[in-house]
Every structure is written in C-alpha cells, then in structure tokens.
C-alpha cells in the first residue's frame, strides 16, 4: 500500500461517517425499487467507459448498455417513468431486462468493445436459446459471440418466472471482472388472486389502502414473484454483488491503449493476467457505499444507474432479488430479521410433500455465490420486543400517543390502514421500555437510558429508541437526543425510522480500497406509516 493511500485510510477510518454524511447531505433521502427496461426485444451493446468510486477513483470498465432507446422502463408508478430513467450505452450492472413469463425474448447484442478485446457474448443461464448463431456471429466455446463491431441475436422463451443473472460467456475471467453482467427478471404470468387482492391476508387490500391514505405509489413490478400464493409481496429490491481488482482494469486499459496506438502490430490483442486476484472494490449494483444509497439514475453516476437503498414499513413483505456477479462469495447479512428463501435461479423451492408450502431456508446471512440468483422474502414488525416501539402512552394528553391497537388473528393491528401504527404488534402495545422517561412515552419499564453525554450516535440514528417522527418527538423533542451529531440521514421530525445495516459479513468487504466505511454496505430503513416512501427520488 502506498504512503498516500495509508494516510487516507487512517483519516477516514477515524473520522468515520464524514464522507457518508457529506454525500447524503448533498443528495437527500433516496429509495430504491428494482428498476429496469422492458422488452421483449432488447438492443444491447457492450461498450467501455469509466465508472466512479467513492474514494474519488474512476475505473476503466466494460459494460452492457442500450444501443437505442429501450421499448420502455419499469416500474412506472402513477403511469410515469422514474425520474431521469435512462439506459446509456454502457452501464454496470447491465440493464435489468424485465419480461413476462411465456414471452419470446430477443436480445440483439452489438460488440463495441475495443478491437483488441476480441469477441463478446451473453449467457442466459436457465433459458434455452431457440435460434442458431446468426448475423456476424461466431460460434464460441459456450455460445454465439459477436466479433468487434458485429451484431448478433439471441432468442429464447422466458419459460419460468424469477430472477436470474446474465453475463458474458467469452473469456469470463476478464470480461465479467470488467463489468459485463446484468439481471433478467421474469414476472409471473398467473399472479395468484390472493396476491392481486393485496396484503395482509387478515385484511386484504389494507396495505394498498394505507398507501393511498399517505399518498404513496406502488413501485412493484408485479404482485407476486412466482405463480404461487406464498410469493406475494409489497415491495422489492434487486441487489447484484461484485468486486473489482483495480490492477486488472488498469492493465486492460494499458493494453487497449497500446494496441490502438499508431504502429501497434496487426492482431494486437489483450493478454491481461487475472491472477493473482486482489480485489479492493466491493460493490452492490456497481456502486460502493455511500454511493449505493444515492438515487437510481443519479446524474453523478452516468454508468451506474442502480442503487441499493431499501425502505419498508412494518409488516410489508419485501422481495429481495439477490445475485452474485463477481468471482467471490459474499455473506450478505440482513440486520433486523431473517429472509425466507423462495427460489434459486428462478426455481421455486417447495415442500416435497405439499406443493402449497415453501421449503427454502430461513437465513440471516444470504450467501451470494458467483452466477447464483436467489429470491427471498423479508419483513420487520418488531414482534416480541416486549416494549411499545411507537412509545404509546395511555396517560398522555396527546391523541396520537393513545392510538388503539386491535389485534388481528396474528396479533397485528392490520385493521387500521390509516393509522400511524398500522401493523403494530399488539402484545407490546403501551408496554414501557424506560423506567423514568423524559418525554411523553410510557414509564415504568425495565431500563434506564444512559446520560446522553456518555454516548455517541450516528447519521442514521432516528434520535430516540422509538419508531417514527410522532413517537420520537414525543420522546425527546424535535432535535432528538443530544448531541444531535447524527440523525442527518434519518431526521427525528421527518423520518425517524429504524435503520438496519445490510452488508457483507466478510467485513473487510465493507471498505472501499482500504477506506472504511464503504464497499458492500447499505442501510435499510423501517419507516412508520406516516413517512412516505418515495422510491422515485
């Protein structure tokens, strides 16, 4: 490690979230969804460009992009595209291809990589190509390849729903490392009626009623992940994990430059060593933290349009579409709850004795594996905390502090879609946490919180132990707990969500080229119902 890098590492390490704070302040809260382009015909191109990393580096990379405007973008909340939705000629990950089960998909791929890079191609694991190698195509070892400046066509039927990876099938150790990968989402053709009616099952449609009440839009691509009633969901996110060894990229650039220089020999081609492999950048959707929490299609990342910034309300079933795109496995740890794995590579995992029952494991760490895609369902309700997360205080004079909680058959307050405490776990209703609280929250609980002078807090601290701006302001006032050093990304009066870190638990991967924090890390926020989650910004 060079001396310069060393200095940078120590400074950032000790002054921890400054970079993160600065980035967040300039952008404001941003949410995620699973954006992509619709088909069923896709005109893709493989192109070189520079991508940006939060340590200030730009890295020479190759990616798939759109050779022409796509037929459409998804999702389209309120019938309109997400702001700034675009598909440039190169992006990492490649455009997320969104199709519907049963459609015949056509992908036209043009090779605009440097001549010295040779052929390129796309593999679609899980689908069977229905057309022969065509056009300028050259049959490669694994699939039909496009020579420099040539265009080829892949045709296949999107035979079954689910999330899958696509990636280069030509010299993959280099081309995938350089960024030639993406995701394909096949939406189910027969969304079960129970999913269409809406969740929760105890009060169908009430989540939609809550969205309407608070003016939220629906950012889902569909109401279910598969043609199966156990796969209904309320919200969804796509996370693609990959890592980069900057030495491979600088070698590739040097050789491309040399091969295109005057006097370079004919047939000059790349010979970039891909071992020993020593990655320094660890990315989710092509971005490292904190960039991954900036909006989708943010202007400052023209070649990294997709973010990773999940938000959800209590009780919402959140579909996670997770893909390993690099060379390494990464143990992706979801704080807050377990994830029920629905499927691997688009194959639903059902009980061998009862195909109405799921059989995938429950994981708090979802291992991403190269080439493997998985779908899972996550939710958070606060069930069993043994204290009222909303800080309801039956002795208060404030009506919002005295909301009722009427348990449904599962114990949740799902009958009140317009209430702040929709989906509250009623067994803990009015239960105090603090023995002698300062504010308008219940007293007589088990713990005494420390003097605020004795602790530090962070930018995603909501300002109090309680969930939501109403409870937080009642508990500690509008500035949150002193010192209000943090709370910038999760304001006590605006959001005051419960923030959970979702990150690689091979912890050295939550760094960006030796700088902590960075890498494969994002914050997931559970927001009480009054906060409007707008995934379009």
Footprint (CB under 8 A) of other proteins, residues 77-96 = none
By beta-carbon proximity to other proteins, the closer residue of 113 and 521 is 521
The answer to whether residues 63 and 92 touch, using CB atoms and an 8 Å cutoff, is yes
By beta-carbon proximity to other proteins, the closer residue of 145 and 388 is 388
Among 370, 530, 531, 535, binds other proteins (CB under 8 A): 530
Options 101-109, 144-152, 206-214, 446-454: segment touching other proteins (CB under 8 A): 446-454
Binding residues for other proteins restricted to 486-515, rule: CB under 8 A: 486, 490, 493, 497-501, 503-508, 510-511, 513-514
By beta-carbon proximity to other proteins, the closer residue of 10 and 25 is 10
Tell me: does residue 532 bind other proteins (CB under 8 A): no
Options 153-161, 188-196, 304-312, 331-339: segment touching other proteins (CB under 8 A): 331-339
Q: How far is the CB of 264 from other proteins (least distance, A)?
A: 33
Q: How far is the CB of 71 from other proteins (least distance, A)?
A: 34
Among 462, 495, 528, 536, binds other proteins (CB under 8 A): 462
The answer to whether residues 164 and 186 touch, using CB atoms and an 8 Å cutoff, is yes
Q: How far is the CB of 277 from other proteins (least distance, A)?
A: 11
Q: How far is the CB of 117 from other proteins (least distance, A)?
A: 26
Tell me: does residue 416 bind other proteins (CB under 8 A): no
Options 70-78, 190-198, 305-313, 516-524: segment touching other proteins (CB under 8 A): 516-524
Tokens of 57: 């580096």
Q: Of all helices (H) and strands (E), which one includes residue 181?
A: strand 181-187
By beta-carbon proximity to other proteins, the closer residue of 150 and 452 is 452
- Alpha helices (H) along 159-245: 172-178, 193-197, 206-214
Among 205, 329, 403, 534, binds other proteins (CB under 8 A): 329
C-alpha 529/C-alpha 517 separation (Å) is 30
Binding residues for other proteins restricted to 259-288, rule: CB under 8 A: 278-280
Q: How far is the CB of 186 from other proteins (least distance, A)?
A: 21
Among 288, 340, 468, 520, binds other proteins (CB under 8 A): 340
By beta-carbon proximity to other proteins, the closer residue of 111 and 481 is 481
C-alpha 28/C-alpha 333 separation (Å) is 25
Phi, psi of 343, deg, nearest 5: -160, 155
Options 52-60, 134-142, 148-156, 457-465: segment touching other proteins (CB under 8 A): 457-465
Among 112, 220, 228, 230, binds other proteins (CB under 8 A): 230
Match 């921890």 to its residue by tokens: 16
CA distances from 400 to 250, 397, 415, 474 (A): 58, 9, 17, 10
Q: Of all helices (H) and strands (E), which one includes residue 4?
A: helix 3-14
By beta-carbon proximity to other proteins, the closer residue of 169 and 480 is 480
Q: Of all helices (H) and strands (E), which one includes residue 281?
A: strand 281-284
Binding mask 288-327 for other proteins (x = CB under 8 A): -----------------------------x----------
Options 82-90, 126-134, 142-150, 420-428: segment touching other proteins (CB under 8 A): 420-428
Tell me: does residue 178 bind other proteins (CB under 8 A): no
Q: CA torsion sign, 79 to 84 to 87 to 92?
A: negative
Among 294, 470, 495, 535, binds other proteins (CB under 8 A): 470
Binding residues for other proteins restricted to 187-206, rule: CB under 8 A: 201-202
Q: Of all helices (H) and strands (E), which one includes residue 373?
A: strand 373-378
Binding residues for other proteins restricted to 8-47, rule: CB under 8 A: 9-10, 13-14, 16-17, 20
Options 84-92, 101-109, 295-303, 337-345: segment touching other proteins (CB under 8 A): 337-345
The DSSP annotation for 19-71 comes to HHHHHHHHH--------EEE-SEEEEEEEEEEEE-TTS-EEEEEEEEESS--S
Tell me: does residue 135 bind other proteins (CB under 8 A): no
Instruction: State the burial class of residue 228 (Cβ atoms within 10 Å of its Cβ: 0-12, 13-18, 19+).
Output: buried
Tell me: does residue 377 bind other proteins (CB under 8 A): yes
Q: Of all helices (H) and strands (E), which one includes residue 256?
A: helix 246-260
Q: Of all helices (H) and strands (E), which one includes residue 12?
A: helix 3-14
C-alpha 62/C-alpha 64 separation (Å) is 7
Query: What are the residues whose beta carbons fall under 8 Å from the beta carbon of 154, sequence distance 6 or more?
Result: 106, 107, 109, 122, 124, 129, 131, 143, 144
Tell me: does residue 357 bind other proteins (CB under 8 A): yes
Tokens of 510: 């939550």
Options 39-47, 58-66, 209-217, 351-359: segment touching other proteins (CB under 8 A): 351-359
Round the CA-based radius of gyration of the chain to a whole number and report it.
Answer: 24
The answer to whether residues 194 and 224 touch, using CB atoms and an 8 Å cutoff, is no
Among 444, 482, 532, 537, binds other proteins (CB under 8 A): 444
By beta-carbon proximity to other proteins, the closer residue of 347 and 367 is 367
For 69-89, give one letter per residue: b (16+ CB within 10 A) or e. Answer: ebeebbbbbeeebbeebbbbb
Options 45-53, 176-184, 256-264, 335-343: segment touching other proteins (CB under 8 A): 335-343
Instruction: State the burial class of residue 61 (Cβ atoms within 10 Å of its Cβ: 0-12, 13-18, 19+).
Output: buried
Fill in the DSSP letter of residue 358. Answer: B
């Amino acid at each position: 490690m060079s001396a310069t890098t060393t200095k940078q590492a120590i400074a950032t390490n000790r002054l921890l979230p400054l970079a993160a704070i600065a980035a967040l302040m300039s952008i404001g809260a941003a949410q995620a969804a699973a954006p992509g382009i619709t088909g069923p015909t896709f005109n893709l191109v493989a192109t070189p460009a520079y991508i940006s990393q939060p340590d200030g580096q730009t890295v020479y990379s190759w990616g798939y992009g759109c050779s022409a405007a796509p037929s459409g973008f998804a999702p389209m909340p309120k019938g309109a595209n997400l702001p700034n939705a675009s598909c440039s000629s190169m992006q990492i990950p490649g455009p997320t291809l969104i199709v519907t089960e049963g459609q015949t998909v056509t992908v036209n791929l043009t090779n605009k990589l440097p001549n010295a890079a040779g052929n390129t191609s796309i593999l679609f694991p899980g689908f069977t190509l229905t057309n022969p190698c065509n056009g300028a195509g050259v049959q490669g070892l694994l699939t039909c390849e496009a020579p420099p400046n040539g265009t080829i066509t892949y045709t296949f039927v999107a035979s079954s729903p689910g999330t899958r990876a696509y990636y280069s099938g030509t010299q993959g150790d280099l081309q995938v490392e350089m960024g030639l990968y993406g995701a394909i989402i096949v939406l189910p053709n027969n969304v079960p009626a129970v999913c269409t009616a809406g969740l929760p099952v105890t009060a169908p449609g009430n989540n939609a009623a809550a969205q309407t009440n608070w003016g939220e839009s629906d950012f889902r691509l569909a109401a279910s992940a598969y043609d199966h009633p156990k796969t209904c969901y309320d919200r969804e996110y796509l996370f693609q994990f990959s890592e980069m060894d900057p030495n491979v990229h600088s070698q590739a650039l040097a050789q491309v430059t040399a091969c295109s220089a005057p006097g370079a020999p004919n047939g000059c081609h790349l010979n970039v060593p891909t071992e020993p492999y020593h990655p320094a950048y660890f990315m989710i959707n092509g971005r490292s933290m904190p960039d991954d929490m900036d909006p989708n299609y943010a202007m400052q990342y023209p070649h990294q349009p997709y973010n990773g910034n999940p938000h959800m309300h209590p009780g919402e079933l959140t579909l996670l579409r997770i893909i390993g795109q690099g060379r390494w496995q990464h143990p992706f740890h979801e704080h807050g709850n377990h994830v029920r794995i629905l499927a691997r590579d688009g194959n639903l995992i059902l009980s061998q004795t009862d195909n109405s029952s799921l059989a995938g494991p429950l994981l708090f760490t979802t291992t991403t594996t190269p080439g493997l895609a998985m779908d899972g369902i996550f939710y958070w309700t606060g069930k069993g905390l043994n204290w009222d997360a909303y800080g309801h205080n039956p002795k208060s004079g404030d009506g919002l502090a005295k909301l009722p909680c009427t348990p449904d058959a599962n114990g949740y307050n799902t009958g009140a879609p317009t209430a702040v405490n929709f989906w509250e776990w009623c067994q803990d209703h009015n239960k105090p946490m603090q023995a002698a609280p300062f504010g308008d929250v219940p007293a007589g609980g088990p713990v005494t919180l420390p003097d605020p002078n004795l602790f530090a807090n962070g930018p995603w601290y909501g300002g109090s132990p309680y969930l939501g701006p109403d409870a937080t302001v009642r508990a500690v006032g509008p500035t949150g707990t002193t010192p209000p050093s943090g709370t910038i990304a999760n304001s006590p009066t605006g959001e005051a969500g419960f923030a959970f870190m979702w990150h690689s638990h091979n912890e050295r991967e939550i760094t960006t080229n030796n700088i902590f924090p960075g890498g494969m890390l994002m914050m997931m926020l559970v927001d009480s119902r009054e906060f409007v989650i707008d995934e379009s910004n």
